Structure 1
Amino acid sequence: MTIGTDSALHRIIEVVDAITTTAQRYLALCRLCPGADWVFIPEMPQMMAGRTICAGGWQTYVCLYLQKIMRFRGNNTTGVSQKALSFPLIQRARGSRLNVIILVTDRLGFDTRTTVLGHVQRGGTPSAFDRILGSRMGVEAVMALLEATPETPACVVSLSGNQAVRLPLMECVQVTKDVTAAMAEGRFEDAIKLRGKSFENNWKTYKLLAHINPPDVKSNINVAIMNIGAPCAGMNAAVRSAVRMGIIQGHTMLAVHDGFDGLAHGQIEPITWTSVAGWTGKGGSMLGTKRALPGKMLEEISQNIAKFNIHALVIIGGFEAFVGGLELVQAREKYEEMCIPMVVIPATVSNNVPGSDFSIGADTALNTITAVSVSKQTCTHTVRTQKPSLMPFSNVSFLQTCDRIKQSAAGTKRRVFIVETMGGYCGYLATMAGLAAGADAAYIYEDKFNIKDLELNVEHLVEKMKTTVKRGLILRNENSNANYTTDFIFNLYSEEGKGIFDCRKNVLGHMQQGGTPTPFDRNFGTKMGAKTVMWLTDKLKEHRIPKTQWWLKIRPIMKILAKYDIKLDTSEHTDMEHVINKRGDL
């Protein structure tokens, strides 16, 4: 992904969400999926909702498909079109996007609206991902220059997974030309692959979820899905994706409310395709979630697994989900009902689930959510989520809050803000937000610090304040140190900065867990939910046989006795066993 792409996605999602709420208001819709029902892209103009269409009938197919989904879920659809479609068929058949609108309006008689985003996608405040990506790519580019020799080929700095990589410039140029050539020649599958694995995976997931094609024959498999631990943005997107993918596979999907408590007390009910409509853009947990672990409820949980005939379990949550899943696995020796496939999808703002690099909800905690009222006056007072009367923010993301705090500090003379973040014992949130917001220091549990380190930071900030710098931002993870608390750091900076700067303190609290999920968390949750159900389906279809079977080694004897010209494997030898030593003294 290039710098600026994530910010453009934020602009697009903001507009799509606004269009969704407009449709709900004026058309009185009760169920509306914020995901696009139809996508026109240059790499695959011939592929509509997962199906290849013939040259002369795409218009009819579009109309039939829209009529189908209208009957299925309501009176509104959402379409997304990318400009400059390169496939001649589309251009010749309907030369512009306006002709697509005319097609829907004239043939179907639907009330249609169009929104052209244009350069809105290029502007606006950069997202946390773009800020961090820009910083990392800038550092990597300078390192590449410092390490280069006259023989070193020119390179492009890129990101593979979460690691910065360097790619040969001319090879990148060639791949770009190959994409253009593939589209011009109608090799659209090749064009999709040339765009990269991430683009290809996103497209495949969209094709699976964008259309309604449940199988005629049910699989007789019941898959339960539940949320565990603290809520976070993106959980609902994962639930929606898992439910719809399960229905496409022919499974019966079961919703478990209130985590392991709900599983123990039988709060389980079927969940359908339309039940999860519109969940992608909703924050929190629609299923309900609790932190309770299953250790003291194993008997009740095993009974309900048998009662509801649950064949697989999807657990969405943070570290509690990881520990809870481990407890269920360890209980298999005592409760045979637990011997079912289980999957944990990491979903927590703390990003601390073992075995994962990213968790659902972490990106939203660093990004834009919704600010109701933030002013210089409210920013200069202590904020604690435990006291609603002192809460000057409502659904404000950490990154946006830091921006406003910095702006407030910049509007005054010499002001430093001490901000406490969530994250438990994981410093991901404080570190990434510090990098994105331009913090002067970020204290985390993983990077131990003492009073000398604090003293150096204070001295450094004092020297900065003696120049033209007028603001300071200090971040502290909530569990970074038991002794050097937020109050301690606030008092330290206030005392040492007397006459040079004044300090303000903000404890953001649980507002970091709420709000509308960002494009990254929506996309990540959707892909994780879909891949989870696909993996479970493969596991449930496997034949249950032992991993090792002793008699397979003697099968060649049957061939030898039947006079086949084969050789017997004699690599394993049988040792001599002493009968007397075994029998012992009589």
Structure 2
Amino acid sequence: MKRIAVLTSGGDSPGMNAAIRAVVRKGYYHNLEVYGIYRGYTGMINGEIKKLDIGSVGDIIHRGGTILYSARSEEFKTPEGQKKAVEQLKNHGIEGVVVIGGDGSFQGAQKLAEHGILTVGVPGTIDNDIPGTDFTIGFDTAINTVINAIDKIRDTATSHERTYVIEVMGRNAGDIALWSGLADGAESIIIPEAYFTMDEIIDRLERGRKRGKKHSIIIVAEGVGSGVDFARQIKEKTGQETRVTVLGHIQRGGSPTAFDRVLASRLGAEAVEMLMKNKSGYMVGIKNNQIISLSIDDALMQKHRVDLSLYQLASILAI
């Protein structure tokens, strides 16, 4: 193997740049040429492929987002689009590709593998919803961003004696809501993976108010529904002054935490090792702080699960 490439696809996440840096520098350590594919699979189809050197990834480990940019490609989902992409790779002499992204990006990596291009996936998404790995790149930074926001909201919630509903991202996964809610002592955490009723939420709020609690924080995962709708129902049933904060894409940005920088560096380097061993259609991940690999097929066939013991703990501590 002489030439490999790296791309980022789907939603950006803090730590992607650290992973790109690791792929490039690990590649050059092993005397490989490394190319960057800009704008994901769209850029692959359009030939937006440039050689990267060691200096081109200097001073990026601390930056959020991705220097390779990111885009979603409907054309790549078609056989014609995939054929164009593979032709571009072959024209550049690229034998293997590291794909950094989420499940949609991994599905694209599978298609490349079917066309004879060696591919390895690196899980990069704030949602932490890729089965087969304990953590994805960007998740730790995202929950720290949420925690920082909740801390500030709690100050004004206390001052005005209000209930605040905070809607966080995560697609159909509740990890961001669960971890940030537990870390910040939220009174209620509403996630897709755990059964709840509005009566339970209202009952918890009423119990808190009776014992003299002046404010409440409720965390709602976007996969459950709108924070605005929850706030409206709470006000209708309790008459309590309620405010809503939708944190939105602020959760995707910012300088990655130390954990995400180290995780991205470890996973990016391992992806290069996998390509050098002619492994294809695999993803790398972390389990019990050990770097592991498994086939993308096996990973995507699994169902993502949150740690419900954390949910139970959060409920107990918020009593």
TM tier, shorter chain? 0.7 to 0.9
The 2-side partners of 1:535 and 1:349 are apart by: 24
Asked if residue 438 in structure 1 is aligned to residue 185 in structure 2, the reply is yes
The 2-side partners of 1:281 and 1:399 are apart by: 20
The residue identity in structure 1 corresponding to 2:227 is: T
The 1-side partners of 2:198 and 2:119 are apart by: 45
The 2-side partners of 1:402 and 1:270 are apart by: 42
Asked if residue 315 in structure 1 is aligned to residue 99 in structure 2, the reply is yes
Is the Cα–Cα contact under 8 Å of residues 224 and 253 in structure 1 kept in the other structure?
A: yes
The 1-side partners of 2:235 and 2:171 are apart by: 26
> Counterpart in 2 of 1:52?
none
User: 1:361 aligned to 122, 125, 138, which one?
Assistant: 138
Secondary structure of the residue aligned to 2:97 is strand
> Counterpart in 1 of 2:208?
464
Asked if residue 340 in structure 1 is aligned to residue 117 in structure 2, the reply is yes
Secondary structure of the residue aligned to 2:20 is helix
Is the Cα–Cα contact under 8 Å of residues 229 and 292 in structure 1 kept in the other structure?
A: no
Is the Cα–Cα contact under 8 Å of residues 97 and 117 in structure 2 kept in the other structure?
A: yes
Secondary structure of the residue aligned to 2:192 is coil
> Counterpart in 1 of 2:308?
none
Q: Deviations over 1:418-447 (max 9, x none)?
A: 011100001111111111111111111122
> Counterpart in 2 of 1:535?
274
Q: Deviations over 1:156-209 (max 9, x none)?
A: xxxxxxxxxxxxxxxxxxxxxxxxxxxxxxxxxxxxxxxxxxxxxxxxxxxxxx
Instruction: Compute the displacement of 1:354 (Å).
Output: 2.6
Secondary structure of the residue aligned to 2:275 is helix
Asked if residue 258 in structure 1 is aligned to residue 39 in structure 2, the reply is yes
The residue identity in structure 1 corresponding to 2:150 is: C
Higher strand share: 2
User: 1:519 aligned to 258, 265, 274, which one?
Assistant: 258
The residue identity in structure 1 corresponding to 2:52 is: I
The residue identity in structure 2 corresponding to 1:290 is: A
Is the Cα–Cα contact under 8 Å of residues 231 and 513 in structure 1 kept in the other structure?
A: yes
The 1-side partners of 2:128 and 2:153 are apart by: 24
> Counterpart in 2 of 1:400?
148
> Counterpart in 2 of 1:378?
none
The 2-side partners of 1:282 and 1:487 are apart by: 32
The residue identity in structure 2 corresponding to 1:312 is: G
Unpaired segments of 5 or more residues in structure 1?
Answer: 1-219, 333-337, 368-396, 541-586
The 1-side partners of 2:277 and 2:148 are apart by: 42
Secondary structure of the residue aligned to 1:289 is coil
The 2-side partners of 1:429 and 1:326 are apart by: 27
> Counterpart in 1 of 2:244?
505
The 2-side partners of 1:447 and 1:291 are apart by: 31
> Counterpart in 1 of 2:77?
295
> Counterpart in 2 of 1:426?
173
Instruction: Trace 1:221-232 onto structure 2 (pairs within 5 A).
Output: 221-232=2-13
The 2-side partners of 1:344 and 1:471 are apart by: 44
The 1-side partners of 2:131 and 2:77 are apart by: 20
Instruction: Compute the displacement of 1:407 (Å).
Output: 1.6
Secondary structure of the residue aligned to 2:8 is strand
Instruction: Compute the displacement of 1:497 (Å).
Output: 2.4
Is the Cα–Cα contact under 8 Å of residues 417 and 473 in structure 1 kept in the other structure?
A: yes
The 2-side partners of 1:515 and 1:438 are apart by: 23
> Counterpart in 2 of 1:306?
90
Q: Which moved more, 1:261-270 or 1:346-355?
A: 346-355
% same residue = 30
The residue identity in structure 1 corresponding to 2:238 is: G
The 1-side partners of 2:146 and 2:123 are apart by: 20
Instruction: Compute the displacement of 1:328 (Å).
Output: 2.7
The 2-side partners of 1:247 and 1:239 are apart by: 12
More RCO (CA 8 Å, sep 6+): 2
Secondary structure of the residue aligned to 1:488 is helix
Instruction: Compute the displacement of 1:326 (Å).
Output: 2.4
Q: Name the larger-Rg structure.
A: 1
Secondary structure of the residue aligned to 1:345 is strand
The residue identity in structure 2 corresponding to 1:511 is: I
Instruction: Compute the displacement of 1:538 (Å).
Output: 2.5
Instruction: Trace 1:10-409 onto structure 2 (pairs within 5 A).
Output: 221-292=2-73, 294-296=76-78, 297-329=81-113, 332=114, 338-367=115-144, 397-409=145-157
Is the Cα–Cα contact under 8 Å of residues 243 and 273 in structure 1 kept in the other structure?
A: yes
The 2-side partners of 1:258 and 1:488 are apart by: 36
Secondary structure of the residue aligned to 2:277 is helix
The size of the alignment, in residue pairs, is 276
> Counterpart in 2 of 1:412?
160
Is the Cα–Cα contact under 8 Å of residues 360 and 525 in structure 1 kept in the other structure?
A: yes
Is the Cα–Cα contact under 8 Å of residues 291 and 320 in structure 1 kept in the other structure?
A: no
Q: Deviations over 1:66-106 (max 9, x none)?
A: xxxxxxxxxxxxxxxxxxxxxxxxxxxxxxxxxxxxxxxxx
Secondary structure of the residue aligned to 2:133 is coil
